[in-house]
Amino acid sequence: MNRLPMGVLGVVALAAVAAGCGGMPLRAQETVTVGVLAPITSGVPAAARAAVQGATLAAEEARGGAGAAVAVIVLDDRGSAEQATRLFAELLDRQVVAVVGPLTDLTVAAVAPHAERAGLPLVSPGATGTIPYAGSSVFRTSLPAPAQARALAEHLVGARARRISIIHEGNDYGALVAMAFAQRVRELGGEIVGTRLYRDGDRDFARHTAGVVADGAQAVLIAGYPDEGAQIITALRQSGVQVPVAASDALYSADLIAWAGPAAEGVIVPAPFVASEPIPTVQEFVGKYRRRYDETPDHHAAQAYDAMKIVTFAIRRGGRSPKAVRAALQGLRRFPGATGEITFDRWGAPDRAVAIARVRHGRFELVRR
């Protein structure tokens, strides 16, 4: 298995893509540099590793130019807003033309104002919350949290769950998902019978599980990250709660299955990408990823792959500067990505539908497209 070393700075020099897809080719010996920011050492290690691998694979596929090179710099922001901001400044000093990342809402929101001032485009493969300057300098290949929350609400209410409890982390991400979900449930005639908060680092969820039982809930939404989310799901199942459990997109991760084990069985998540989907573009990417890393890609890998692909596409179109790359991204239409066709809306988000997946026999399977 050949993997990029994690937890350290990685620099990969890659030949630029050949001309023929529009724009002028890079001149021989000219180098264009792209940065990658990911929380390699953080609470979402599997997501970060997958994102780095997906971005690296896309960059490696950029080989074939006229002797020119694309240099990819991988940096670990540790999921810290302060660290991400510092590393962004470092990438600016190294004259990158774009950044793939950061991965989390917190780090993207911290870096976005600096990207806008510098005119340097960011393409996040993981941010789902509200992002300042989105659509101007900040783009994403991940789906916004409100759209994913509404899709979960429609699925649960459509499955005749009318009384639903919410357990969410007390941060912007958890609150955003919970609010959009609750609004859509009520619009569909359902009822939110209980809402409970938790904080990052909490370990005791007895009152949360007892509350779900007392609510008489017919389903539960968990909006947060895999570390606490896996513990909550385990606690619910251990307390005898057998109603459907839906989880926010951050829990659509190998970490959930690894940390919750059998308790994860049946958990429903929004699915921007499912590796088993029998679509040619999906299976082509899955095959390449498996050959490169000897494992099946998740949505973080696919979204990071797409993020790097559109950046290298912009470079092919003559993107020798941040301004040129940003202009190419703003005009992107129906780009054939592993996650589907990518057209950015006015807020820099991909305009596509949200699928639903569930955990079955330790794997995510598509339920609804």
Identify the DSSP state of 130: -
DSSP string covering 27-95 = PTT-EEEEEEEE-SSSS-HHHHHHHHHHHHHHHHTT--SSS-EEEEEEEE-TT-HHHHHHHHHHHHHTT
Per-residue pLDDT of the chain (369 residues; tens, 9 = 90+): 333 333 334 554 444 333 333 334 445 457 789 999 999 998 778 889 999 999 999 998 886 443 357 789 999 999 999 999 999 999 999 999 999 999 998 899 999 999 999 999 999 999 988 888 888 999 999 989 889 999 999 999 999 999 999 999 998 889 999 999 999 999 999 999 999 999 999 999 999 999 999 999 999 999 998 999 999 999 999 999 999 999 998 898 888 999 999 999 999 999 888 888 888 999 999 999 999 999 999 999 999 999 999 999 998 887 789 999 999 999 899 999 999 899 999 899 998 888 899 999 998 888 877
Domains of the chain (ranges; CATH) run 10-143+278-342 (3.40.50.2300), 145-271 (3.40.50.2300)
- The residue whose two tokens read 């794997």 is 363
| Alpha-carbon span 14 to 357, nearest angstrom | 35
3-state helix, strand, coil in the chain (%, to 5): 40, 20, 35
Q: pTM (2 decimals)?
A: 0.80
pLDDT at 245 (0 to 100): 97
Report yes or no: 217 and 163 within 8 Å, Cβ to Cβ: yes
pLDDT at site 71 = 84
Convert the pLDDT of each residue in 318-346 to its tens digit: 778 999 999 999 989 999 999 989 999 98
pLDDT at 1: 37
Check residue 29 and give its pLDDT: 52
DSSP category for residue 200 = T
pLDDT of res. 87:
98
Supply the pLDDT for residue 63.
60
- Compute CA distances 32 → 48, 57, 121, 124, 173, whole Å: 24, 17, 14, 19, 34
In the prediction, which pLDDT does 10 show? Answer: 52
Q: Whole-angstrom Cα distance, residue 326 to residue 165? A: 42
pLDDT of 368 reads 76
For the stretch 24-41, pLDDT in tens is 444 545 778 999 999 999
Given this model, what pLDDT does residue 25 score? 45
- Give first-to-last CA distance, the chain, whole Å: 32
